[in-house]
């Protein structure tokens, strides 16, 4: 993969990558909202979240500050927007539809990655375009597969919930308030033990998917 050859190209490509990934995070949340609405819950619509206007979704720390800090300090982006409100009791099938609503977010990022991969292959050897495409694909897949980790409150926990018994489901979802603490403990603990959660759990499916898309990384 060719890299930008001068400072201007580097700054331009970084700016474009950040903007696209910023909107990818917004699309992730909007996808949750549309899925919930399609499955019978209008909570997101009443909250004005069926909109691609980023101001309706931005969490200034999670959507702007955190991704910038991670990008310039660690070389990857992870972030979040305001959680989409939904009432699972409005769904026809609580467990299934909650899982499908959660799954819509990561699926949107995978679809973005596929679309950008098409742009990469049609890029005709335009190195700056291909450089931007590779990183947008990588970061969208990272966002998708990280969120699919089945630990509350990540999307993967609700996807897993579709396959649990009712009793196990309620015990599992009861951990959601503590889930982010558990997640940070797992990440920090794994790093202290020399086991990087991102490298060992998330990067293998990301690399596999990029290989299937014909994207070098």
pLDDT the model gives residue 5? 65
Distance separating alpha carbons of residues 99 and 161, to the nearest angstrom: 7
pLDDT the model gives residue 148? 94
Between 89 and 2, whose confidence is greater? Answer: 89
pLDDT the model gives residue 65? 81
Report, as an integer, the average pLDDT of 66-71: 72
How do residues 144-199 score in pLDDT, each as one tens digit? 998 999 888 889 999 999 999 999 988 888 877 777 777 767 766 776 777 777 67
Distance separating alpha carbons of residues 202 and 65, to the nearest angstrom: 23
Query: For the chain, which residues make up each domain, given as ranges?
Result: 7-212
Between 192 and 12, whose confidence is greater? Answer: 12
pLDDT the model gives residue 74? 57
pTM: 0.86
Q: What would the 3-class secondary structure string for 35-94 be?
A: HHHHCCCCHHHHCCCCCCCHHHCCCHHHHHHHHHHHHHHHCCCCCCCCCCCCCHHHCCCH
pLDDT the model gives residue 4? 61
pLDDT the model gives residue 85? 87
Residue 176 annotated among the catalytic residues of the structure: no
How do residues 100-146 score in pLDDT, each as one tens digit? 999 999 999 999 999 999 999 997 777 888 889 999 999 999 999 98
Residues near 205 by Cβ (< 8 Å), separated by ≥ 6? 141, 145
pLDDT the model gives residue 60? 81
How do residues 73-82 score in pLDDT, each as one tens digit? 655 566 677 8
62 pLDDT band, cuts 50/70/90, is confident
Given 9, 29, 167, 176, which residue is catalytic? 29
pLDDT the model gives residue 113? 97
Cβ atoms within 10 Å, residue 8: 9
Alpha-helix residue ranges (DSSP H) falling in the chain: 7-38, 43-46, 66-74, 94-121, 127-147, 155-161, 166-173, 176-192, 197, 203-212
pLDDT the model gives residue 194? 73
How do residues 33-49 score in pLDDT, each as one tens digit? 999 999 999 998 898 88
DSSP 8-state secondary structure symbol assigned to residue 214: T
């Amino acid at each position: 993969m060719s890299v930008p050859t001068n400072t201007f190209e580097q700054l331009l490509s970084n700016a474009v990558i950040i903007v696209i990934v910023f909107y990818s995070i917004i699309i992730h949340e909007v996808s949750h909202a549309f899925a919930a609405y399609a499955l019978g819950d209008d909570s997101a619509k009443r909250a004005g979240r069926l909109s691609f206007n980023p101001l309706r979704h931005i969490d200034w720390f999670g959507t702007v500050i955190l991704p910038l800090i991670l990008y310039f300090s660690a070389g990857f982006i992870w972030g979040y927007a305001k959680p989409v409100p939904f009432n699972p009791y409005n769904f026809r099938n609580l467990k299934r539809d909650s899982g499908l609503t959660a799954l819509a977010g990561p699926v949107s990022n995978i679809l973005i990655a596929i679309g950008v991969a098409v742009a990469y292959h049609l890029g005709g050897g335009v190195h700056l375009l291909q450089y931007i495409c590779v990183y947008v694909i990588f970061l969208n897949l990272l966002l998708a597969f990280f969120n699919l980790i089945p630990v509350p409150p990540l999307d993967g926990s609700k996807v897993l919930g579709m396959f649990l018994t009712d009793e196990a489901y309620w015990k599992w979802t009861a951990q959601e308030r503590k889930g982010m603490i558990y997640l940070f403990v797992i990440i920090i603990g794994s790093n202290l033990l020399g086991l990087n959660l991102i490298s060992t759990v998330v990067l293998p499916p990301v690399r596999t998917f990029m290989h299937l898309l014909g994207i070098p990384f």
